[in-house]
Amino acid sequence: MELVKNNWYAICTKARWEKKVAKQLEQKGIEYYCPLVKSERQWSDRKKIVLEPLFACYVFVRIQEKDSVLVKKIDGCVNFVYWLKKPAIIRNEEIETIRQFLNDYERIRVEKTKVNLADEVRIISGPLMEREGKVIEVKSRTVKVLLPSLGFTLVAELDKQHVQLVTPMSKIDPIVSLANGF
């Protein structure tokens, strides 16, 4: 008997329909993830904390590829995110990284970015310790962690001393530390 694997996929939604699509997915028993962040909104008479989607116009679903037709029928779902003419598979590690960011940091934002090659770094302390990623930009205390299958960047403020440059030598010997330059 062959084990059929469910994969994570990103679906595009109509603008400001992320929570509505998530609710419909839940009602149909489809596993989904719609990461939400707290945001302070100002009205003329009051301020209010609201939950907003971290990724505008995106919701993640965990399904078998053959079930994509069911998802496309959901009101507000525009289509899947495609890569090489197939729905793009989002790695479990990327979904877990998003979840961990939301658990560990309060001030999170998403920036649309193109995938660029940059230095590889390893986080040497803190909640994301031992994770490696590509640095898009380092300013003051900000380190950007790239999620290449989505073309988005999660941004968390980390002290530069918590990041170490990864070189071919340090990949072989984890004791090697290149703190110079950071």
CATH of residue 31's domain is 3.30.70.940
Furthest C-alpha separation in the chain = 62
Q: What is the pLDDT of residue 164?
A: 72
Q: What is the pLDDT of residue 180?
A: 33
Output the pTM of the full model. Answer: 0.66
Does residue 152 contact residue 97 with C-beta atoms inside 8 Å? no
- Is residue 153 predicted with pLDDT exceeding 90? no
Do 179 and 161 belong to one domain? yes
Q: Which of 170, 168, 137 is nearest to 154 (CA)?
A: 137
Does residue 96 contact residue 142 with C-beta atoms inside 8 Å? no
Do 73 and 105 belong to one domain? no
Band of pLDDT at residue 181, cut at 50, 70 and 90: very low
Q: What is the pLDDT of residue 140?
A: 58
Q: Which of 66, 81, 75, 68 is nearest to 11 (CA)?
A: 81
43-52, 62-71, 80-89, 135-144: which has the minimum mean pLDDT? 135-144
What lies within 8 Å, CB to CB, of 178 at 6+ separation is: 164, 165, 167, 170
Q: Which residues sit opposite 80 in a β-bridge?
A: 11
Greater pLDDT, 30 or 141 = 30
Q: What is the pLDDT of residue 148?
A: 52
Q: What is the pLDDT of residue 25?
A: 97
What is the number of structural domains in the chain? 2
Do 18 and 77 belong to one domain? yes
Give the range of the structural domain holding residue 143, as residue numbers without chain letter: 91-182
Last residue of a domain, one of 38, 64, 90: 90
Do 99 and 146 belong to one domain? yes
Token couple for 38: 């707290």
Cα 116 to the center of its chain, rounded Å: 17
Token couple for 8: 């994570």
Token couple for 87: 């729905």
CATH of residue 110's domain is 2.30.30.30
Do 68 and 110 belong to one domain? no
Sign, CA torsion 21/26/27/28: positive
% of the chain exceeding 90 in pLDDT: 41
